[in-house]
Amino acid sequence: MARRLNQLRKSTLSTHEHLTCSSSILSSSSPRTPGKKAIKGDPIITGIRLRPFLDRESAIDDTPAVQIFETNVICTQNGRPQIFKFTNCFDSSANNKNVYDGMIRSAVLASLQGYNTTVLAYGQTASGKSHSIFGSSNEEGILSLSIDHLITMNGNHHLKFELSFLEIYNEKVTDLLATPAVSTEPSTTKSSSFSKNARTHILNKFACNSTRTLEIREHPLLGPYVPDLKYIQVKTKEDFQNVLNLGNQQRSVASTNANQRSSRSHAIFSVKISRNDVPQSTAKRLLFESNSTSNGKNSSLSNANNKKSVKQQALDELEEQSVRLNFVDLAGSEKSQQFHGSKGKNDRFAESVHINQSLSTLRNVIDALSRQQHHIPYRDSSLTYLLKNSLGGDAKTYMLATISPSSTVIDETINTLRYAGLTAI
Residues that bind Mg ion (CB under 5 A): 130
User: Exactly one of 31, 123, 135, 141 binds ligand ADP (CB under 6 A); which one?
Assistant: 123
Q: Is 266 in the site for ligand ADP (CB under 6 A)?
A: no
Question: Coil, strand, or helix at residue 90?
Answer: strand
Q: Is 128 in the site for ligand ADP (CB under 6 A)?
A: yes
CB-count exposure of residue 260 (10 Å: 0-12, 13-18, 19+):
exposed
* Complex with ligand ADP: residue 8 or 99, whichever CB lies closer: 99
Q: Which residue is nearest to Mg ion (CB)?
A: 130
CB-count exposure of residue 48 (10 Å: 0-12, 13-18, 19+):
buried
* Complex with Mg ion: residue 115 or 269, whichever CB lies closer: 269
Q: How far is the CB of 388 from Mg ion (least distance, A)?
A: 24
* 88: partner contacted, choices ligand ADP, Mg ion, none (Cβ within 5-8 A by kind): none
Closest Cα partner for 215 from 257, 175, 163, 271? 175
* Complex with ligand ADP: residue 129 or 230, whichever CB lies closer: 129
CA atoms of 221 and 223, how far apart (whole Å): 6
CB-count exposure of residue 295 (10 Å: 0-12, 13-18, 19+):
exposed
Name the β-bridge partners of 192.
232
| 313 among annotated binding-site residues | no
Q: How far is the CB of 215 from ligand ADP (least distance, A)?
A: 28
Question: Coil, strand, or helix at residue 297?
Answer: coil
| 125 among annotated binding-site residues | yes
| 126 among annotated binding-site residues | yes
Q: Fill in the per-residue mask, 169 to 208: x = in contact with ligand ADP (CB under 6 A), - = not in contact.
A: ----------------------------------------
Helix (H) or strand (E) holding 323: strand 323-329
Question: Coil, strand, or helix at residue 5?
Answer: helix
Q: Is 261 in the site for ligand ADP (CB under 6 A)?
A: no
CA atoms of 123 and 135, how far apart (whole Å): 16
Q: Is 130 in the site for ligand ADP (CB under 6 A)?
A: yes
* DSSP code of residue 128: S
Q: How many CA atoms lie within 13 A of 302 on its CB side?
A: 17
| 129 among annotated binding-site residues | yes
| 12 among annotated binding-site residues | no
* 54: partner contacted, choices Mg ion, ligand ADP, none (Cβ within 5-8 A by kind): ligand ADP
Q: How far is the CB of 168 from Mg ion (least distance, A)?
A: 14
Cα-based distances in Å from 31 to 102, 162, 367? 21, 23, 24
CA atoms of 425 and 68, how far apart (whole Å): 18
Binding segment for ligand ADP among 47-55, 149-157, 339-347, 368-376 (CB under 6 A)?
47-55
Cβ atoms of 122 and 400 closer than 8 Å: yes
User: Exactly one of 116, 127, 370, 381 binds ligand ADP (CB under 6 A); which one?
Assistant: 127
Please give the residues from 364 up to 423 whose contact with ligand ADP meets the rule CB under 6 A: 402
Please give the residues from 50 up to 89 whose contact with ligand ADP meets the rule CB under 6 A: 51-52, 54
* Complex with Mg ion: residue 64 or 332, whichever CB lies closer: 332
Q: How far is the CB of 386 from Mg ion (least distance, A)?
A: 19
Q: Where are the beta strands (DSSP E) in 27-171?
A: 44-50, 66-69, 72-77, 80-85, 88-90, 116-122, 159-169
Residues belonging to the binding site are: 123-130
Annotated binding site for ATP: 123-130
Q: Give the residues lining the site for ligand ADP (CB under 6 A).
A: 51-52, 54, 123, 125-131, 136, 263, 332, 402
